Chain A
Amino acid sequence: QVQLKESGPGLVQPSQTLSLTCTVSGFSLTSYNVHWVRQPPGKGLEWMGVIWSGGNTDYNSALKPRLSISRDTSKSQVFLTMNSLQTEDTGIYYCNRNGHSWGQGTLVTVSS
């Protein structure tokens, strides 16, 4: 059974760095791509980036300067790191496997 679960701090202070983990089960990270998508409160979906099955990454152009995605295949985990957080980065952060399977999402609030 394919599962993805996001985890991380619920609250981050402005200008600080966000670190999220997507823990997957039921498939191998070397066979499937994992994407990160976020959603500000009451707004639409924003694609953030992807780590391809081969290990390469691509990022949303607007976020690229401050975003990094990596993985640990032995632990079946994908990591998102984003620095210089501002209040507009508040929202639900999702990981998904090629759009077919999604995690439940984790709420990140940027506030002092």
Chain B
Amino acid sequence: NIVLTQSPATLSVTPGESVSLSCRASQSISTSIHWYQQKSNESPRLLIKYASQSISGIPSRFSGSGSGTDFTLSINRVESEDFSIYYCQQSYSSLLTFGSGTKLEIK
């Protein structure tokens, strides 16, 4: 199985700061990585597909980059509604896997 390692586990930031969240794959997965946001007591929401492709209705401050084994989700000027947990997921293998998540919290 492909293992995804997200870092850091927790990121404490002040609203208005820009941040980068990391996801590293245990083998090369091209650009088959997707990013989700999950707020407390809600279903996950797809933010970015295939490493950098935007999703309709998602604010433009969210962007993704990377290929191979290293991927980044960037949030430009974090807003209060962005404090939640972020997961990456790979679909390179037909056996999908999620990372363990990064919690974005208010400093």
Contact of A35 with B101 in the complex, beta carbons under 8 Å: no
Distance to closest chain B CB from A84 (angstroms): 21
Q: With A99-B89, A102-B44, A103-B43 in contact, is A47–B97 under 8 Å at CB? A: yes
List the A side residues contacting B87 at CB < 8 Å: 44-45
A58 to B55, CA, bound (A): 26
Q: Categorize the interface residue count of chain B.
A: 20 to 34
Contact of B43 with A104 in the complex, beta carbons under 8 Å: yes
List the A side residues contacting B44 at CB < 8 Å: 37, 45, 94, 96, 102
Distance to closest chain B CB from A62 (angstroms): 9
**Which residues from 13 to 51 on chain A have a C-beta closer than 8 Å to any C-beta of chain B?**
35, 37, 44-47, 50
User: Which residue in chain B gives the minimum CB-CB distance to A56?
Assistant: B94
Contact of A99 with B97 in the complex, beta carbons under 8 Å: no
Contact of B95 with A58 in the complex, beta carbons under 8 Å: yes
Q: B residues within 8 Å of A by Cβ?
A: 1, 34, 36, 38, 43-46, 49, 55, 85, 87, 89, 94-101
Query: 9 closest pairs, A vs B, by CB?
Result: A102-B43, A47-B96, A45-B98, A58-B94, A44-B101, A99-B46, A44-B100, A100-B46, A45-B87
